[in-house]
Amino acid sequence: MLWELALLSVLVPCSYWGLLFVRRQPFGSATYGWMLLAVAALAVVALASGDGPAWVDALGAVALGAGACLLVVAPALRAAARWAVATDRLRLAGVLVDIRDVLQPGTGGREEKKTIATLREVHAGRVDEAVGALRAVRERAPPAVRAGLDERIVLLYLSAQRWDDAVGWAEAHLLAGEQAPPESPDGADGAVGPEAEDGPRTYRHVGRELGMSPPLWIELVGAYLRRGDLDRAAEHAERFERAARGVSELALVVHRLRLVFLAHTGRVEAVDRLLEPALAGHLSTAARSYWAGVARHAAGDVAGARAAFETARARSPRDGRARALVDRSLAEIDRPAPAAPARAAALADRLARAELTLPPRIPSRLVGVTAVLVGLNLAVAALCALLVGPAGDLGTIVRAGANLRWSVEGGQLWRLASSVFVHVGWVHLVVNALGLWSLGRLAEGLFGRTRMLVIYGVAGLVGAIASHLMSRAGVSAGASGAMFGLLGATLVELALHHQSYRREWRRSLLGALAVVTAAQIAIGVFYEVIDQSAHLGGLVGGAVVGLALSPSWRWAEHAAVRWLARGLAGALVVAYVAGGVMAVRTGYADELAAQPRATRALGPFVVDVPAPWVAGGDELVDREIYVVLSLVADAPGAAVERLGPWVHTERGRAKERGFDGVEDATALIVPVPDGWASTEWIAVGTDPLGSTQRYRVIAFTGQVGDLPLVGALYVPDVLARDAGAAAALGAILATIRPAP
């Protein structure tokens, strides 16, 4: 079961992203896409072969390992490399990028390596030496290679803040043969860009049209602005706006262009809008303060600029390059900024009015609701493992607050909340934690922290209720319903409010989310052990709440709506905390005491048991947690003498019940009536999810009136050892009597 789920978890994302990279080639190469499709093919072979030969299992293991490297390790390496660059650990960043480029070839690694190598040269103060070496190589290089070397030289000068040298080299070698771009028919700032001959325009098309990489073009615009050449900067900015129109991969680059240009032309209000969290969440606090200072300095607000620059300097203690740039701005703060000429002023006015929508950001810091929820799920699992019992053990799950049908119907509604944070084993926990981390950050970016918390909380409760009402399983637990709620809310938001998001990004994400949804539902259909009703309930619940709390409605930012969301979030937090407190306080003895009693006949005997214990052949069974009581009339004789043969018989029956083996118990904990004899052992088995289940077996012999009996009671060991539970079980055995 776990093997198939793991292969499916690799097959689905590798198939989707592989096809996407092969078809679109956003970085001009399909290598990474073909690697993903190869991994998906290996997973298909391993799944189709079932219990095949060993070499098929080996293929499956290769698919799992390769999928983890391509889908998890590579993005983690990219994030680590960016952190290393931001903290001036450039040698480490170079190593990380090299490894990442092996795992994700053709996805921008070459440009990242060039940037890091350039920064290392600047950091070591060897700019002129590096430029000289590159110029020598350039003289011998073929024309097709020279453009890349020219870009490297310009980047070196820009990183060293030598604006004149950067502009001079770019104009002499990269821009010398460029043609003036055609004007828009209506004279606007490029509302409609030329279409690529081979389909939708991409990052590669724009770079080819400009003659250099788009980020370098933006930095060149910044160099013109810092030199005071605003007309030339406006010319380049207009050209880029036309070329990048509709290219979703360049949304962040367009944002940077507008931020740089508007800041240097003193459009303070427009810059402040671009620096709002919804648009500038990818920028650090230091970067946002720096650009706010540039805008205020250009507008003549020296005091405001100084305060912003000081904040930027204080927030970048480890970034030497950023501090150098801020120090330079502080040194020149008393020098008045040049006035914007007519062309630059007109472009600034147009850019200030232009709308800009970025894909929702994924928070980079480990804060926010998503991180808290993931941490809570992990913490609950760790505490249960330390204080209650092994992860995945049925007794542990029930004791920790799982959704137990009879208990909920008996009034323990708090289990609907507590069960959302309980997981059936470590694999279940890890799968849900990874899904929550991915979907939660996306939903948090779309809806905000408070609304995302409401969606998660409501979907979790709705999923638990759906599981209670519709699932055939007596025990259910996990955050899957809440996670599907985030999925449903995201799908509804992107489908109904598509006008708020860029088309290419929206379509790609909708496709990915639809594939994930279909795959999860299909897995639930094929594997009955998965609680499909909780998934569907959470999906619907999250979709409804996401629709109601969508940030795209006109009234979404009204104070009443915000306070309603906060009130709902507070109520949900109280409900979940109360569920956790009740789970801690309610033991198995309390469960037995709270359940109504029923008199059940079992052969020539009757016994008073909890109402959920119903007849199953010659036994009484609590089908939810598999508590089993069997009673058999025996031949006359002393109880102690009959115990040995009965133990031998019952241990054989334990294997018939599906247990793999038995272990001796360290002590007898369940009391039996006076004159009876008993012994206890632990029956051990493995469930369909691969978790080990441990049941305490109480085998006993005795005399009831004139009838000798032998019997056995199977109870999850964790529950049997719970405070007061052994005495409560002994009290049930004491009610055994002859049938009337």
CA dist 503 → 195, 247, 251, 279, 468 (Å): 16, 10, 12, 17, 40
Give the position of tokens 């989310």: 513
DSSP secondary structure code for residue 200 in this structure: S
Nearest 5 degrees, angle CA 90-CA 95-CA 100? 120
What per-residue confidence (pLDDT) applies to 51? 65
The Cα 663–Cα 150 span in angstroms is 74
DSSP secondary structure code for residue 438 in this structure: H
Nearest 5 degrees, angle CA 431-CA 691-CA 728? 120
Average pLDDT, the chain: 83
Return the domain boundaries, the chain: 1-109, 226-354, 363-585, 595-738
Lowest mean pLDDT among 8-17, 483-492, 552-561, 664-673: 8-17
Range with the largest mean pLDDT of 182-186, 321-325, 676-680:
676-680
What per-residue confidence (pLDDT) applies to 510? 66
The Cα 719–Cα 716 span in angstroms is 5
CATH: 3.40.50.10860, 1.10.260.40, 1.20.1540.10, 3.30.300.10. Which one for 363-585? 1.20.1540.10
What per-residue confidence (pLDDT) applies to 337? 83
What per-residue confidence (pLDDT) applies to 189? 38
Lowest mean pLDDT among 186-200, 368-382, 574-588, 686-700: 186-200
DSSP secondary structure code for residue 199 in this structure: B
718 contacts 701 by C-beta, under 8 angstroms: no
The Cα 431–Cα 385 span in angstroms is 18
Give the position of tokens 């598509």: 498
Supply the Cα-derived Rg of the chain in whole angstroms: 34
Name, in order, each residue with C-beta under 8 angstroms of 485's C-beta and a sequence gap of 6 or more: 455, 456, 458, 459, 460, 462, 463, 538, 539, 541, 542, 543, 545, 546
Q: What is the CATH number of domain 595-738?
A: 3.40.1000
628 contacts 712 by C-beta, under 8 angstroms: yes
pLDDT tens digits, 289-343: 999 999 999 999 999 999 999 998 888 766 667 778 888 888 888 888 888 889 9
What per-residue confidence (pLDDT) applies to 186? 35
Whether residue 365 is predicted with pLDDT greater than 50 in this model: the reply is no
Kindly report the pTM of this predicted structure. Answer: 0.69
Q: How much of the chain exceeds pLDDT 70, in percent?
A: 87
Catalytic: which of 423, 535, 630, 691? Answer: 535
| Catalytic-residue membership of 184 | no
Whether residue 485 is predicted with pLDDT greater than 90 in this model: the reply is yes
pLDDT tens digits, 226-274: 898 999 999 999 999 888 887 767 888 899 999 999 999 999 999 999 9
pLDDT band at 364 (very low <50, low <70, confident <90, very high): very low
Q: How much of the chain exceeds pLDDT 90, in percent?
A: 36
Alpha helices in 69-126 (DSSP H): 74-86, 90-103, 109-123
What number is the average pLDDT over the span 18-35?
Answer: 76
Whether residue 628 is predicted with pLDDT greater than 90 in this model: the reply is yes
pLDDT band at 183 (very low <50, low <70, confident <90, very high): very low
pLDDT band at 694 (very low <50, low <70, confident <90, very high): very high
660 contacts 686 by C-beta, under 8 angstroms: yes
What per-residue confidence (pLDDT) applies to 74? 84
What per-residue confidence (pLDDT) applies to 187? 37
154 contacts 211 by C-beta, under 8 angstroms: no
517 contacts 539 by C-beta, under 8 angstroms: yes
> If 0-12 CB within 10 Å is exposed, 13-18 middle and 19+ buried, where does residue 140 land?
exposed
DSSP symbols for 125-154 = T-HHHHHHHHHHHHHHS-HHHHHHHHHHHH
Whether residue 548 is predicted with pLDDT greater than 60 in this model: the reply is yes
Range with the largest mean pLDDT of 315-324, 430-439, 500-509, 532-541:
532-541
Whether residue 148 is predicted with pLDDT greater than 80 in this model: the reply is yes
Q: At what angle do helices 109-123 and 127-140 cross, to 10 degrees?
A: 130
Name, in order, each residue with C-beta under 8 angstroms of 349's C-beta and a sequence gap of 6 or more: none
Name, in order, each residue with C-beta under 8 angstroms of 407's C-beta and a sequence gap of 6 or more: 415, 591, 594, 595
pLDDT band at 579 (very low <50, low <70, confident <90, very high): very high
Catalytic: which of 407, 418, 480, 533? Answer: 480
What per-residue confidence (pLDDT) applies to 528? 54
Q: Name the amino acid, one letter, at 341.
A: P
Whether residue 672 is predicted with pLDDT greater than 90 in this model: the reply is yes
According to the CATH classification, is domain 226-354 in 3.40.50? no
What per-residue confidence (pLDDT) applies to 182? 37
Q: When comparing pLDDT for 501 and 493, which is higher? A: 493
What per-residue confidence (pLDDT) applies to 421? 94
Q: When comparing pLDDT for 480 and 88, which is higher? A: 480
**Phi then psi for 662, rounded to 5 degrees?**
-130, 155
Whether residue 198 is predicted with pLDDT greater than 60 in this model: the reply is no
pLDDT tens digits, 65-112: 888 888 888 888 888 887 787 676 778 888 888 888 888 887 777 767
Range with the largest mean pLDDT of 321-335, 508-522, 724-738:
724-738
Give the position of tokens 């040269």: 121
pLDDT tens digits, 390-435: 888 999 999 999 998 888 988 899 999 999 999 888 877 887 887 7
| Catalytic-residue membership of 480 | yes
Residues for the chain: how many in total?
Answer: 740
- Which residues, listed in sequence order, are joined to residue 476 by a DSSP beta bridge? 403
What per-residue confidence (pLDDT) applies to 192? 33
Whether residue 361 is predicted with pLDDT greater than 90 in this model: the reply is no
Q: Name the amino acid, one letter, at 212.
A: M
Name, in order, each residue with C-beta under 8 angstroms of 193's C-beta and a sequence gap of 6 or more: 201, 242, 243, 244, 245, 246
What per-residue confidence (pLDDT) applies to 668? 92
The Cα 204–Cα 26 span in angstroms is 7
* 331: its two tokens: 């040194």
pLDDT band at 580 (very low <50, low <70, confident <90, very high): very high
The Cα 633–Cα 705 span in angstroms is 12
Give the position of tokens 């828009």: 184
